[in-house]
Amino acid sequence: MTRTMTTLAAALAVLALAVAPGGAQSNLASMLVGRWSGDIEMARGTYPRSLIVKSVQVTAGKAMLDAEYGGTGTDYGLPAPVMSPVAVTVEAYGGNVVLKFVSSEGFPIQLSLSPDRRHLYGDLRMSVGIGGARPINPIQLDKTS
């Protein structure tokens, strides 16, 4: 029991440091600010997508990105997603960084930063039909600037 509590305390300390103001904010900014370009795989094809991260803000211990997301082409009967502002939350723990946001079409997206800090990979999940099934549409974005 004591080992579990110690492990939990250490994990919480790492999380607090990862999203703390100051040095951690500049570290997140150096990793995330810039243009990320790549593709999303849909049922009928692969379409280009970009995430442009303008800045990182840390408020009350939570990191948020000032960002835009969009691209060209679609596979689900909606207009192509043009570049639009998105509210991106950041979860940082240990060496892991996870970005979560909702696309302009209303679909949740989750992206993880690769260990080499040059790629974001994850998925967009959209509900289809009754029952709420969420097919996974893989996304990979590479840092281009």
Radius of gyration of the chain (CA): 17
Helix (H) or strand (E) holding 63: strand 62-71
> Looking at residue 86, which CATH number applies to its domain?
2.40.128
Q: How far apart are CA 43 and CA 73, in angstroms?
A: 12
pLDDT of 3: 45
**Whole domain around residue 71: which residue ranges?**
2-143
Instruction: Give per-residue pLDDT as tens, 75-108.
Output: 566 666 789 999 999 998 888 999 999 988 888 9
Q: How far apart are CA 56 and CA 35, in angstroms?
A: 14
How many structural domains compose the chain? 1
pLDDT at 73 over 50: yes
pLDDT of 34: 97
In sign, the C-alpha dihedral spanning 142, 41, 63, 20 is negative
